[in-house]
């Protein structure tokens, strides 16, 4: 069974910073793309950032210049460094990983349960 566990969320003032982590555990052959999505109250889930196994990244326009995504393949962990946070960044942040459990198995998408980030004074 594959599990994704996010950590690092919390309450931060506008202009502040937070670092989210997401560790993938379980029986895994390899992990391809990893990413962060967020869902604000009353809104649809949206892409924040993704990173491939080759460290190519995509960031949403709304977070470019403020957020950075990175990964540690040895630890099966992806990070989201968030800076200059704004109230509109308030959301539940979800981690996603596209992974193969075995060499012969298809690549499946796995999701974490989310971590809440609240930006407020």
Each residue's pLDDT tens digit, 83-100: 999 999 999 999 999 999
Helix (H) or strand (E) holding 39: strand 30-39
**CA 86 to each of CA 18, 32, 44, 61, 82: distance values in angstroms, whole numbers, following the listed order:** 12, 30, 19, 14, 10
Q: What is the CA 35 to chain-centroid distance, rounded?
A: 5
pLDDT in tens, 38-75: 999 999 999 999 999 999 999 999 999 999 999 999 99
45: Cβ contacts below 8 Å, ≥ 6 apart: 37, 38, 39, 94
Token couple for 108: 């499946």
């Amino acid at each position: 069974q594959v599990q994704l566990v996010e950590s690092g969320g919390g309450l931060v003032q506008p202009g502040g910073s937070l670092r989210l982590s997401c560790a993938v555990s379980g029986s895994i052959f390899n992990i391809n793309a990893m990413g962060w999505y967020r869902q604000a109250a009353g809104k649809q889930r949206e892409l924040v950032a993704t990173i491939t196994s080759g460290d190519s990244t995509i960031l949403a326009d709304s977070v470019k210049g403020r957020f950075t995504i990175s990964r540690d393949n040895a630890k099966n962990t992806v990070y989201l460094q968030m800076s200059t946070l704004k109230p509109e960044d308030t959301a539940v942040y979800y981690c996603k990983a596209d992974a193969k459990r075995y060499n012969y198995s298809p690549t499946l998408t796995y999701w974490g349960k989310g971590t809440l980030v609240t930006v407020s004074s």
